[in-house]
Protein backbone atom coordinates (compact mmCIF):
# COMPACT_ATOMS: atom_id res chain seq x y z
CA UNK A 1 0.00 0.00 0.00
CA UNK A 2 1.17 3.47 -0.80
CA UNK A 3 2.00 5.10 2.53
CA UNK A 4 0.56 8.43 1.44
CA UNK A 5 -2.91 6.86 1.42
CA UNK A 6 -3.38 6.74 5.15
CA UNK A 7 -1.82 10.06 6.05
CA UNK A 8 -3.40 13.45 6.00
CA UNK A 9 -0.82 15.34 3.98
CA UNK A 10 -1.64 18.98 4.38
CA UNK A 11 1.43 20.33 2.57
CA UNK A 12 3.05 18.62 -0.41
CA UNK A 13 5.91 19.99 -2.46
CA UNK A 14 6.87 18.31 -5.71
CA UNK A 15 10.25 19.24 -7.23
CA UNK A 16 9.96 22.85 -6.17
CA UNK A 17 12.63 25.27 -7.30
CA UNK A 18 12.75 29.01 -6.81
CA UNK A 19 15.07 31.25 -8.73
CA UNK A 20 15.91 34.87 -7.97
CA UNK A 21 17.69 36.60 -10.85
CA UNK A 22 18.87 33.26 -12.20
CA UNK A 23 20.19 32.07 -8.85
CA UNK A 24 18.46 29.11 -7.20
CA UNK A 25 17.22 29.74 -3.66
CA UNK A 26 15.33 26.42 -3.58
CA UNK A 27 16.51 23.44 -5.60
CA UNK A 28 14.16 20.63 -6.47
CA UNK A 29 12.50 20.33 -3.07
CA UNK A 30 10.14 17.40 -2.62
CA UNK A 31 8.53 17.23 0.78
CA UNK A 32 5.35 15.97 2.46
CA UNK A 33 4.06 17.40 5.71
CA UNK A 34 1.31 15.77 7.70
CA UNK A 35 -1.44 17.67 9.37
CA UNK A 36 -0.50 18.43 12.97
CA UNK A 37 3.24 18.05 12.49
CA UNK A 38 5.71 20.36 14.19
CA UNK A 39 8.51 21.10 11.75
CA UNK A 40 11.70 22.89 12.61
CA UNK A 41 13.48 24.18 9.50
CA UNK A 42 17.12 24.80 10.23
CA UNK A 43 20.08 25.87 8.17
CA UNK A 44 22.50 28.76 7.90
CA UNK A 45 21.63 32.25 6.76
CA UNK A 46 20.93 32.25 3.02
CA UNK A 47 19.97 28.54 3.01
CA UNK A 48 16.49 29.20 1.63
CA UNK A 49 14.41 28.92 4.84
CA UNK A 50 12.48 32.16 4.35
CA UNK A 51 11.94 31.40 0.67
CA UNK A 52 10.49 28.00 1.55
CA UNK A 53 7.95 29.56 3.92
CA UNK A 54 7.15 32.36 1.45
CA UNK A 55 6.32 29.99 -1.42
CA UNK A 56 3.94 28.12 0.89
CA UNK A 57 2.22 31.39 1.81
CA UNK A 58 2.21 32.42 -1.86
CA UNK A 59 4.22 35.49 -0.97
CA UNK A 60 6.58 34.24 -3.69
CA UNK A 61 5.74 32.12 -6.71
CA UNK A 62 7.74 28.98 -7.44
CA UNK A 63 9.87 28.88 -10.59
CA UNK A 64 9.34 25.16 -11.07
CA UNK A 65 7.38 22.39 -9.41
CA UNK A 66 4.03 22.16 -7.67
CA UNK A 67 2.71 22.83 -4.20
CA UNK A 68 -0.47 21.32 -2.84
CA UNK A 69 -2.09 22.71 0.30
CA UNK A 70 -4.73 20.33 1.55
CA UNK A 71 -5.04 19.01 -1.99
CA UNK A 72 -5.30 22.45 -3.60
CA UNK A 73 -2.72 23.23 -6.23
CA UNK A 74 -1.35 26.70 -5.45
CA UNK A 75 -0.64 27.34 -9.12
CA UNK A 76 -4.35 27.06 -9.80
CA UNK A 77 -5.68 29.25 -7.02
CA UNK A 78 -7.59 32.19 -8.45
CA UNK A 79 -6.84 35.59 -6.99
CA UNK A 80 -10.39 35.76 -5.67
CA UNK A 81 -9.83 32.59 -3.61
CA UNK A 82 -6.42 33.64 -2.33
CA UNK A 83 -7.69 35.56 0.73
CA UNK A 84 -9.69 32.50 1.83
CA UNK A 85 -6.65 30.26 1.46
CA UNK A 86 -4.42 32.76 3.27
CA UNK A 87 -6.77 32.73 6.23
CA UNK A 88 -5.82 29.11 6.81
CA UNK A 89 -2.25 30.31 7.35
CA UNK A 90 -0.71 32.38 10.07
CA UNK A 91 2.60 33.80 8.94
CA UNK A 92 5.27 35.44 11.08
CA UNK A 93 7.54 37.22 8.63
CA UNK A 94 11.21 37.51 9.47
CA UNK A 95 10.88 41.28 9.03
CA UNK A 96 7.47 41.33 10.84
CA UNK A 97 5.61 43.32 8.15
CA UNK A 98 3.46 45.19 10.65
CA UNK A 99 1.45 48.14 9.38
CA UNK A 100 3.38 51.14 10.72
CA UNK A 101 0.50 53.60 11.02
CA UNK A 102 -1.86 51.20 12.76
CA UNK A 103 -1.72 50.50 16.48
CA UNK A 104 -0.67 47.16 17.92
CA UNK A 105 -4.32 46.38 18.61
CA UNK A 106 -5.37 47.30 15.06
CA UNK A 107 -2.58 45.27 13.46
CA UNK A 108 -3.83 42.14 15.20
CA UNK A 109 -7.56 42.93 14.92
CA UNK A 110 -7.34 43.41 11.13
CA UNK A 111 -7.04 39.65 10.62
CA UNK A 112 -10.35 39.02 12.35
CA UNK A 113 -12.04 42.02 10.75
CA UNK A 114 -11.07 40.70 7.31
CA UNK A 115 -12.52 37.34 8.29
CA UNK A 116 -15.80 39.06 9.15
CA UNK A 117 -15.80 38.21 12.86
CA UNK A 118 -18.13 40.00 15.28
CA UNK A 119 -16.66 43.02 17.04
CA UNK A 120 -17.32 41.59 20.52
CA UNK A 121 -15.37 38.44 19.60
CA UNK A 122 -12.58 40.49 17.99
CA UNK A 123 -12.06 42.57 21.11
CA UNK A 124 -11.96 39.58 23.42
CA UNK A 125 -9.75 37.46 21.18
CA UNK A 126 -7.25 40.20 20.32
CA UNK A 127 -6.81 41.14 23.97
CA UNK A 128 -6.39 37.51 24.96
CA UNK A 129 -3.65 36.91 22.38
CA UNK A 130 -1.88 40.16 23.22
CA UNK A 131 -1.97 39.25 26.89
CA UNK A 132 -0.36 35.88 26.29
CA UNK A 133 2.35 37.43 24.15
CA UNK A 134 2.99 40.03 26.87
CA UNK A 135 1.91 43.01 24.76
CA UNK A 136 -1.31 44.01 26.50
CA UNK A 137 0.22 47.22 27.86
CA UNK A 138 1.18 48.42 24.38
CA UNK A 139 -2.08 48.03 22.53
CA UNK A 140 -2.19 51.71 21.56
CA UNK A 141 1.44 51.93 20.46
CA UNK A 142 2.45 52.22 16.81
CA UNK A 143 4.92 49.57 15.60
CA UNK A 144 7.79 51.97 14.82
CA UNK A 145 7.85 53.03 18.50
CA UNK A 146 8.37 49.42 19.65
CA UNK A 147 11.58 47.46 20.15
CA UNK A 148 12.37 44.64 17.72
CA UNK A 149 11.38 42.08 20.33
CA UNK A 150 8.05 43.80 20.94
CA UNK A 151 7.32 43.99 17.21
CA UNK A 152 8.11 40.31 16.97
CA UNK A 153 5.57 39.50 19.71
CA UNK A 154 2.92 41.49 17.83
CA UNK A 155 3.80 39.64 14.62
CA UNK A 156 3.34 36.32 16.44
CA UNK A 157 0.05 37.49 17.97
CA UNK A 158 -1.22 38.52 14.55
CA UNK A 159 -0.21 35.16 13.05
CA UNK A 160 -2.18 33.10 15.57
CA UNK A 161 -5.21 35.29 16.30
CA UNK A 162 -7.27 33.79 13.50
CA UNK A 163 -6.60 30.26 14.80
CA UNK A 164 -5.07 29.18 11.49
CA UNK A 165 -4.61 25.51 10.71
CA UNK A 166 -1.06 26.15 9.48
CA UNK A 167 1.40 28.46 11.26
CA UNK A 168 4.51 29.53 9.39
CA UNK A 169 6.96 31.27 11.70
CA UNK A 170 10.14 32.71 10.20
CA UNK A 171 12.81 33.28 12.87
CA UNK A 172 10.00 34.06 15.34
CA UNK A 173 12.43 34.50 18.21
CA UNK A 174 15.23 36.23 16.32
CA UNK A 175 14.83 39.52 18.17
CA UNK A 176 14.17 38.08 21.62
CA UNK A 177 16.34 37.20 24.61
CA UNK A 178 16.44 33.50 25.45
CA UNK A 179 13.72 33.65 28.11
CA UNK A 180 11.25 35.52 25.89
CA UNK A 181 12.24 33.25 23.01
CA UNK A 182 11.26 30.22 25.04
CA UNK A 183 7.95 31.86 25.97
CA UNK A 184 7.13 32.50 22.31
CA UNK A 185 8.11 28.98 21.37
CA UNK A 186 5.93 27.58 24.15
CA UNK A 187 3.14 29.77 22.86
CA UNK A 188 3.48 28.34 19.33
CA UNK A 189 3.59 24.84 20.77
CA UNK A 190 0.25 25.45 22.47
CA UNK A 191 -1.27 25.91 19.01
CA UNK A 192 0.49 22.78 17.85
CA UNK A 193 -1.08 20.86 20.75
CA UNK A 194 -4.45 22.21 19.70
CA UNK A 195 -3.91 20.63 16.27
CA UNK A 196 -2.22 23.27 14.11
CA UNK A 197 0.55 22.30 11.72
CA UNK A 198 3.50 24.48 12.71
CA UNK A 199 6.62 25.26 10.70
CA UNK A 200 9.32 27.23 12.49
CA UNK A 201 12.36 28.38 10.52
CA UNK A 202 15.46 29.35 12.45
CA UNK A 203 19.21 29.40 12.02
CA UNK A 204 19.47 29.07 15.81
CA UNK A 205 19.94 25.40 16.66
CA UNK A 206 19.56 26.08 20.38
CA UNK A 207 15.84 26.54 19.77
CA UNK A 208 15.69 23.02 18.46
CA UNK A 209 16.71 21.63 21.83
CA UNK A 210 13.68 23.20 23.45
CA UNK A 211 11.03 22.25 20.93
CA UNK A 212 8.58 19.40 21.21
CA UNK A 213 8.62 16.17 19.34
CA UNK A 214 8.61 16.92 15.69
CA UNK A 215 10.72 16.86 12.59
CA UNK A 216 13.85 18.83 11.88
CA UNK A 217 14.44 19.61 8.24
CA UNK A 218 17.89 20.95 7.64
CA UNK A 219 18.40 22.90 4.45
CA UNK A 220 21.49 24.39 2.91
CA UNK A 221 21.93 26.13 -0.42
CA UNK A 222 18.29 25.43 -1.23
CA UNK A 223 18.57 21.67 -0.76
CA UNK A 224 17.20 19.44 2.00
CA UNK A 225 20.36 18.08 3.58
CA UNK A 226 18.86 16.01 6.34
CA UNK A 227 15.61 15.29 8.08
CA UNK A 228 15.47 13.92 11.58
CA UNK A 229 12.76 13.19 14.08
CA UNK A 230 13.16 15.05 17.36
CA UNK A 231 12.19 12.89 20.29
Ligand X SMILES: Nc1ncnc2c1ncn2[C@@H]1O[C@H](COP(=O)(O)OP(=O)(O)O)[C@@H](O)[C@H]1O
The stretch among 77-85, 88-96, 135-143, 159-167 that binds Mg ion (CB under 5 A) is 88-96
Decide which of Mg ion, ligand X, none touches 143; Cβ closer than 5 to 8 Å per partner kind. Answer: none
Long-range contacts of range 67-71, CB-CB < 8 Å, 24 or more positions apart? 67/11, 67/12, 67/13, 67/14, 67/16, 68/9, 68/11, 68/12, 68/14, 69/10, 69/11, 69/166, 70/10
> Which partner in Mg ion, ligand X, none is near 202 (CB below 5 to 8 A by kind)?
none
Count residues contacting Mg ion (CB under 5 A)? 3
> Nearer Cβ to ligand X, position 22 or 100?
22
SS3 192: helix
CA atoms within 13 A on the CB side of 38: 19
Short-list 137, 147, 104, 128, CA closest to 190: 128
Distance in angstroms (rounded) separating the CA atoms of residues 163 and 160: 5
12 binds, among ligand X, Mg ion, none (CB under 5 to 8 A by kind): none
Which residues of this protein are in contact with ligand X, per CB under 6 A?
20-21, 25, 43, 45-51
CA dist list (Å): 141 to 90, 92, 114, 135, 231:
22, 19, 21, 10, 40
CB of 156 to ligand X, least distance (A): 17
Cβ proximity to ligand X: between 47 and 98 the closer is 47
Q: Is 50 in the site for Mg ion (CB under 5 A)?
A: yes
Smallest distance from Mg ion to CB 191, Å: 21
Nearest approach, Cβ of 213 to ligand X (angstroms)? Answer: 24
Residue 132 contacts Mg ion per CB under 5 A:
no
Residues in touch with Mg ion (CB under 5 A): 49-50, 94
Amino acid sequence: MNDTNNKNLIIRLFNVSKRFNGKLALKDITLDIEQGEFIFISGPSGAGKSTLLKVLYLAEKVSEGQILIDGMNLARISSSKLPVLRRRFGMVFQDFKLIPNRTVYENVALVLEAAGEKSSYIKKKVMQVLRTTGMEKKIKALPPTLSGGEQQRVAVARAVVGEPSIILADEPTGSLDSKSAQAILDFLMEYHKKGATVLVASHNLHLLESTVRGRNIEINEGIIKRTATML
